[in-house]
Structure 1
Amino acid sequence: MTFIEKRVRPINAMQAVLKEYEDPASGARHIHLATDDAEMVFLVAFPTVPDKDDGRAHILEHLALCGSNRYPVRDPFFSMLRRSTATYMNAMTYPDRTVYPFASTSKADFFNLLGVYLDAAFFPKLDYLDFLQEGWRYTLEDGKLGYGGVVFNEMKGAFADPMRALAQGMDSVLFKGTTYEVESGGDPLAIPSLTHEDLRQFHAGHYHPSQAVFMTAGAIDPLQVQQVIAEHVLSRLQGTARRMMPELAPSWDAPRETTIRIPSPTAKDDEFGIQLAWLAGESADATAYYRAQLLEAGLVGDAAAPLLHVMESAGYGRPSAFNGMDPSHRQLVFHLGMEGLTRDQVGKARDLIWRTLEKTAETGVPHAVLRAALRDLRFSQREIQGGQLPYGMRKLLQALPFEMAGGDIMTAFDSEATLAQLEEQIADPDFFKSMVRELLASPTRLTATVEPDARYFDARSEVEQRRLAERQEAMDPAEAARIATESESLLARQRRPVNNDVLPRIRPDDVSPLPRPLHQLPDGTRRTLGLEIASNGISYARVVYDVSAFDEADWPWLDLYAELLPDLGVGEMDFAQAGSWRKQLAPSFSVDLDAHESLAGAGASLRIHLAFSSRNVREEQAAIAELLSTSIRSARFDESDRIAFLIEQIAENQVQDLADQGDQYAVIAAELPYSLRRRFQDAVDGAASLRFYSALGQQIESDDGLQAICERLAALHQRVLAAPVRVIAAGVGSDGAELAAMLDVPGADPATVPAVAPERAPVAPASIALVAPAQVNHCFASWSVPRLGDADAPVLSVLANLMTNQVLHQALREEGGAYGGTARYAAHSGVFTMLSYRDPRLAGTYDDFARAIAWVIESALDREHIEEAIIGVIGELDKPRSPHQEAMQAWQLREAGVTDAMRVQFRRGVLECTAEQLKGVAARHLLNTAPSRAAFAGNTTQDLAGLAVVDLMAMVGEAA
């Protein structure tokens, strides 16, 4: 064994033990977070510090997963997605590091994946044809030169986010001369400068054990992991080298200014902004990190915080989405700014921010604000969080920058010593004032004027087309022939059958025939549910109003109600006082509106829930009860100016995010003819919501219109309080029951919930292209199919996985260049959908959707491929969740009418799925049935496959 144990330290806040190891020969480090979590987590990370915008670190991340020495198959990563019961598999490129993580609850599967990941990272083939597929390549279509490549198109989609443009624009000045100056993901205008040899050299210089950090978490023996690392990697790669680290940006002698242009679909007069940014301490310095957290909480933490308060009540503009601390680089950045300004208001907003900082440096902030911020930091270390990432994975990824930047990784898991020191320091009224004075005095400050640019994408496209035209003009016949030959070779390789026998796999016989047990719930008819969970001392409460009986016309108003209520006053407190009051009581307060389709009864029905939620450490769970009870009983909707400001903010964010959220609008439009839930989502998150907020934007212009909005919200609130309610609380031991009993909220008996929601008129299948300025498309085609409970349901789920892995991935991603292409089955809604994401094509993609159906019906389906699809479905079914999520999932399934018998039947149907069944459901439900089609289209000059154009800009422009 090569690794030497360096330190072992208990982490009391997490009920875990941190173990640190190092290989003295190479300097490779292994961090193990020992817990009793059944979900075993692994990652290997490398510092990647590019000095060009050509995306080399990002493209290398893709190529590393395209075949290795031990596993020389074309796509081992995506192959293992369907040969494994992994609960998480991915790879991520950050501005200064690249990470390869996975998680599994099966020990055999864990070590299968460990071997594949280690070989992929350290011994990738880096094949030239894979470089053309994943990175970039020239294409010749109808004699015209163009670009292709997965990362090339992925980054075209990523550039639709205006906040990305702002962040990179500021980084290029703040971090000039460091790796953070460049676009780590790759600028599509610079990606074509990258050569295959550049990429190979970058791998050789960065992916070595001397640079690697291995991390594991969960109930896995670290020594077994180290044995595999030693055998697969350390025995084959010798030597050591100084650990790479991103450069520190130099401090400045005087503040600087710049102008940054960001994409805007409208570039209206009031879309300017001002952004101030300071370089702070190093992110691996726990004291600097938490001081910046306190500075954020004190200045912009809630509506009563001095900076946030003046920004929101200025009468112009609104707070920037960037406000607060950014810990994503080696050095912390602290942001303060405003957006939604006219050009003339930019200087006015800058002066407002500066004056308020000067005033705060004299007055400080209440001690209670800082005390609450420290409580929130302690809370975050104790909470067992759920979400897309496994809990152990999230903790490792949060801790990784501390390790890679040379800090003490323990502070990422348990910083109680630092927090205790800060607890003493905040008692001094001058402590916070001195931090603000440091901001004011710092010369390393960037002031950026943000300007909207309606021609942002056009200008980039013109540069791209000019370069292509110049290249084609200079191209000789030999080069044209080479491009054609490479394209043919790549296509032939993509279509060549792959033999994955060299890869390990989990088979259907290796998994349990029974579904995972659900959390045991008490009687479902009770108004109050107290649940016992292993929560590490955190208590949770949800007050859920069933608003299923509300009219369809109420849906967008319910969404508005949920959006506004957490930012409005309570009782005698105005919005600023209420914000401070909530923050001091608990780390979180939210109002969420969601809908699901119930399987109870003969037909589909929609259940709509409005949930008020909060959580806190168990020692302060009485504060949860006070917060929820008072916020629900005494919500107020008479702060008309505040309501107008918040509505305007929502509407402006919709406009700015049109291109970035294009896939959301398209999928809702495609599926809503067949899904009540999607129909609901259209009203609150889809194209219909654009019209709603556009109309509200006009209504708030008049006093009478604004008053009508306030009155409607107040009336809606009274209707909510009269709706059926259920109180659900969870915690350690009897905490849940005790907390539930403390909550005093109005509401009807949940037994009065209607069995079936009101009938709604049918909606015709869609055939539309939703258009807004962008550089890529998102394509969706949906079919109405049987729902969960039908014998075809499990077969449809396997069919979606099979189509994805055997047809759509190759056609849409490998050949078509889209970032993603998949099929999915929504069992509760009874909708089968094929989709592409960040796709350079549109008409060709819809042709590929049709070919996928024909392939299933006409081809001889390989049993191994079917079993891989089965394992893919089982892996999704068996993903573990946090204890609180497990409890809530059990309740939600019961609410949706999903019985244990249905779960058993579905799992059995998945495990026993046959080729004949797959062909049968494809023929019955997909073949010769016109789908509902909706796409988000970046432009209308392409072939739109017969889709009717719907201009999203016109919807948001109604209020402009």
Structure 2
Amino acid sequence: VCFSAFKSKGHIEGFRNFKGQQHPWRLKSTSARERALQYQPGQKIHGFTVKEVAAVPDLFLTAVKLTHDKTGAQYLHAARDDSNNLFSVQFRTTPMDSTGVPHILEHTVLCGSQKYPCRDPFFKMLNRSLSTFMNAFTASDYTMYPFSTQNSTDFQNLLSVYLDAVFFPCLREQDFWQEGWRLENENPTDPNTPLVFKGVVFNEMKGVFSDNERLYAQHLQNKLYPDHTYSVVSGGEPLSIPDLTWEQLKQFHATHYHPSNARFFTYGDLPLEQHLKQIEEDALSKFERINPNTEVPSQPYWTSPREDHVTCSPDVLAPDPARQNTLCVSYLLGDVTDTFEGFTLSLLSSLMISGPNSPFYKALIEPKIGTDFSSVVGYDGSTKEASFSIGLQGMAEEDTERVKQIISTTIDDIIEKGFEEERIEALLHKIEIQMKHQSTSFGLSLASYIASLWNHDGDPVELLQISDSVARFRQALKENPHFLQDKVKQYFKENTHRLTLSMSPDEAYLEKQAKTEEEKLQEKIQALTDSDRKDIYEKGLELLAAQSKTQDASSLPALKVSDIEPTIPITPVHISTAGGVPVQYCEQPTNGLVYFRAMCSLNTLPEDLRLYVPLFCSVITKMGCGPLDYRQQAQQMDLRTGGMSVSTQVIPDSTQLDAYEQAVLLFSSCLERNLPHMFQLWSDIFNSPRLDDEERLKVLVMMSAQELANGISYSGHMYAMTRAGRHLTPAGDLQEAFGGMEQMDHVPGKLLAHHTEMRALYRCAINTTPQKMSDAATQLESFMKEVAGNRKERKPIRSNIIEKPCNTPVLV
């Protein structure tokens, strides 16, 4: 369970490969897409009426929109031939204060329900389910509850738990104390210890706002949208959370967690009728329609730009302690329900800030005025009206006016010069790749993608018709060559709803925060009577006893052995060689994409260089190669591939604790027509990387240092686990060196001179369609010949390295 603004939507790894036993109604004679196309607008199904049926060939699915007759609940089903089926229900949650009521409610509904009264039923389901994802999210204006599974019985079980949790939660006062906030003795068993604030969300949000990036992002949103729900902290401002009462929480649930305010989304190859029947019977039939009154009005438009300033705590991990200021200019854009305008502005944002060829990268990053773009940057469509932000972090206070002037001048330059046609084509190529790419979390990505627009009554089906937006975009450019420049002039040059927000460190910031919290605590305590204090002590003991008690989970549904297929489907692979290197070929329906993976051994790398491997991996594809400088290389990668990445790999041997495999993993993908170009780029990176551009390296190292520092607060638990495990096994020690706190203490000075130490390929994999496999094998053979001269036969530096590749396939 987490608080998330969904501003960065990454892929979710680690999905299980189990597949559920087929039920009689899980028909396979026709595809899920074909079956869904048979529905007709106006058709009645289990209390729902079909409103629209639309094929979405871009994403290989059929979309079915429905409305629940009795309550008005909205429903979207994405029928797709994917066994990893997903369900989500989202509610528009629009708080008008910063008590964190939607966030605390998200936690509290997961503490038991009428049908499943045991505490924490979600967590109890983890070992009773084959779910591939279970969670809940609180955004600025909606709360979402998604799960996914490949097992049909499991889907029904989880759906029952989720429906009961959100519509019929217990919402016990004790759960509110635990998850929200409470006054409690510092030692709950000793009434003489001082009273303090406690609570899961209270402490979680204190942690959130100890991170300067999150603090800045929250201030920016609150000040850019000052007149309605975005002016408050939906997750909860720590010192406002103690103002929330249990009664207010229950009232918020009654008005916001109602079917009339709900949007249901299902995805995958399971039949829609079964989902509708269960949702109707288990939940919706028990409600009548209401007017939830949760709409978000448009933000009144400013007639003149505004400026503001906030403070934060100094960052002890800042790459340069003297440069800890942030400045960002944020612009209010159009309504997110305008699909094409949102598509255009998102593309425009990428052209302006993404990659070394973008105008703002050249103007702000390369002069090294700051360490990186501001934490909020680019197009953001997570609110009713979108925004665009541009700025810097890690800058000196005296550069404030200079950065403002650079932003203004760069906008003028864009209006005058526009964008190169090749950059626009590279961006449209990236969209084509994204549409064709298959991922294990495709359903979850779709649910997140449509959430904001749908939340404000936009058309999610129109949003999914990406090729229509691309075609319309191309037509607009054809009719008006200055189409994008006109948009820049409209939304940035002439836009008076513009906020310039600066942030600087205050040495006394934490002291002031602690003082304010203490004053709030004393205000609460002084209002207590002796009877209140006794009641607090007794309730603290009750909560402690409840938390310590073993919960009876017998009411929860569980899978039986007969519900699970006895074997895991085997993915057929063909093992061969190319240039003397083992290759794993796997034929898959990849929609015209080719996926390439390869391992480069680090067995011969000297001990003193291993600390620099992660940084080497982050810069080697960004320095230029062969005849291409780094700008040309970035352009070609965008035009010809779906991305090229290099990362560290430490793979422990499952049979010997003291043995492991260490390597660098190469990964890239491309459209079938671009396969020769992709391998040529890899060949140039292997054979002739441009490692002598010191200024480029300084920029990349500066940005890498800032990213490492920023990541500490998000991943503290991971760093702690990696640090703790470093002494248990040799593999753990190497994992700490590659990805732990040890990385924070070293600035590289010599890694690039040792490029030849880290480029010996020793295992590869190709995934593509059967029709393209022969050509891919030929191209790989040619590539291997070009880099064959780099392989060196050397003995491992450390004896506990696995001499031959361990039995771990490259294919994920």
TM-score normalised to structure 2 length = 0.87
Residues 444, 327 of structure 1: alpha-carbon distance in 2 compared, 3 angstrom cutoff: same
In structure 2, distance between residues paired with 1:315 and 1:674: 41
Q: Offset at 1:43?
A: 0.9
Quote the RMSD (CA, aligned, Å). 2.5
In structure 1, distance between residues paired with 2:652 and 2:805: 9
Pairing 1:430-579 to 2, within 5 Å after superposition = 430-438=482-490, 439-508=492-561, 510-523=563-576, 526-579=581-634
Is 1:157 matched up with 2:210?
no
Q: Offset at 1:239?
A: 2.1
* Aligned residue among 383, 396, 401 for 2:437: 383
- Return the letter of the residue paired with 2:798: P
Moved more, 737-746 or 89-98: 737-746
Matched residue, 1:958: none
Q: Offset at 1:114?
A: 1.1
In structure 1, distance between residues paired with 2:413 and 2:660: 52
Matched residue, 1:405: 456
Q: Deviations over 1:770-822 (max 9, x none)?
A: xxxxxxxxxxxxxxxxxxxxxxxxxxxxxxxxxxxxxxxxxxxxxxxxxxxxx
Q: Deviations over 1:483-506 (max 9, x none)?
A: 011111212222333222222111
Q: Deviations over 1:714-738 (max 9, x none)?
A: 43212223x2343422111142442
Is 1:93 matched up with 2:138?
yes
Is 1:14 matched up with 2:64?
no
Q: Deviations over 1:516-545 (max 9, x none)?
A: 534434247744443211223322122431
Q: Offset at 1:686?
A: 1.7
* Aligned residue among 756, 759, 766 for 1:729: 766
3-state SS of the aligned residue for 1:297?
helix
Q: Offset at 1:7?
A: 1.1
TM-score normalised to structure 1 length = 0.74
3-state SS of the aligned residue for 1:425?
helix
- Return the letter of the residue paired with 1:546: S
Q: Deviations over 1:585-605 (max 9, x none)?
A: 2231222122212347x6632
In structure 2, distance between residues paired with 1:528 and 1:751: 16
Q: Which runs of 5+ in 2 are unaligned?
A: 1-45, 187-191
In structure 1, distance between residues paired with 2:363 and 2:621: 18
Pairing 1:159-178 to 2, within 5 Å after superposition = 159-178=209-228
3-state SS of the aligned residue for 2:117?
coil
Matched residue, 2:467: 416
- Return the letter of the residue paired with 1:670: A
Matched residue, 1:822: none
User: Is this contact kept in 2: 1:374–1:423, CA < 8 A?
Assistant: no
In structure 1, distance between residues paired with 2:120 and 2:752: 57
- Return the letter of the residue paired with 2:432: R
Is 1:210 matched up with 2:210?
no
Name the % identity. Answer: 27
In structure 2, distance between residues paired with 1:405 and 1:155: 26
3-state SS of the aligned residue for 1:269?
coil
In structure 1, distance between residues paired with 2:401 and 2:620: 32
Pairing 1:297-336 to 2, within 5 Å after superposition = 297-320=350-373, 321-336=375-390
Q: Offset at 1:742?
A: 2.1
In structure 2, distance between residues paired with 1:420 and 1:473: 66
Matched residue, 1:835: none
Q: Deviations over 1:689-709 (max 9, x none)?
A: 12212xx4xxxxxxxxxxxx3
3-state SS of the aligned residue for 1:462?
helix
* Aligned residue among 125, 128, 149 for 2:173: 128
Pairing 1:601-620 to 2, within 5 Å after superposition = 604-620=658-674
User: Is this contact kept in 2: 1:5–1:21, CA < 8 A?
Assistant: yes
Q: Which runs of 5+ in 1 are unaligned?
A: 697-708, 762-827, 829-893, 900-960
User: Is this contact kept in 1: 2:576–2:582, CA < 8 A?
Assistant: no
Q: Deviations over 1:335-356 (max 9, x none)?
A: 1111221111111111112111
Pairing 1:780-791 to 2, within 5 Å after superposition = none
In structure 2, distance between residues paired with 1:583 and 1:520: 30
Is 1:256 matched up with 2:306?
yes
User: Is this contact kept in 2: 1:531–1:737, CA < 8 A?
Assistant: no
Is 1:81 matched up with 2:119?
no
Matched residue, 1:758: 798
* Aligned residue among 233, 239, 245 for 2:295: 245
Q: Offset at 1:66?
A: 1.2
Matched residue, 1:717: 755
3-state SS of the aligned residue for 1:95?
coil
- Return the letter of the residue paired with 2:341: A
3-state SS of the aligned residue for 1:22?
strand
Residues 45, 356 of structure 1: alpha-carbon distance in 2 compared, 3 angstrom cutoff: same
Residues 98, 510 of structure 1: alpha-carbon distance in 2 compared, 3 angstrom cutoff: same
Residues 249, 632 of structure 1: alpha-carbon distance in 2 compared, 3 angstrom cutoff: farther
3-state SS of the aligned residue for 2:286?
coil
Q: Deviations over 1:135-188 (max 9, x none)?
A: 111111252111111111222222232221111111111111121111111121
Matched residue, 1:868: none
Q: Offset at 1:198?
A: 0.6
Residues 309, 519 of structure 1: alpha-carbon distance in 2 compared, 3 angstrom cutoff: farther
* Aligned residue among 632, 637, 641 for 1:582: 637
Query: How many residue pairs end up in the alignment?
Result: 747
User: Is this contact kept in 2: 1:134–1:150, CA < 8 A?
Assistant: yes
In structure 2, distance between residues paired with 1:551 and 1:448: 47
In structure 2, distance between residues paired with 1:523 and 1:454: 62
Matched residue, 2:9: none
- Return the letter of the residue paired with 2:807: G
Matched residue, 1:597: 652
In structure 1, distance between residues paired with 2:156 and 2:718: 37
- Return the letter of the residue paired with 1:421: R
Is 1:273 matched up with 2:326?
yes
Is 1:285 matched up with 2:325?
no
In structure 2, distance between residues paired with 1:508 and 1:455: 60
Pairing 1:613-692 to 2, within 5 Å after superposition = 613-692=667-746
* Aligned residue among 108, 121, 128 for 1:63: 108
Q: Deviations over 1:551-605 (max 9, x none)?
A: 23221222221111232122343323332232222231222122212347x6632
Q: Offset at 1:760?
A: 7.0
Moved more, 163-172 or 751-760: 751-760
- Return the letter of the residue paired with 1:673: H
In structure 1, distance between residues paired with 2:197 and 2:700: 42
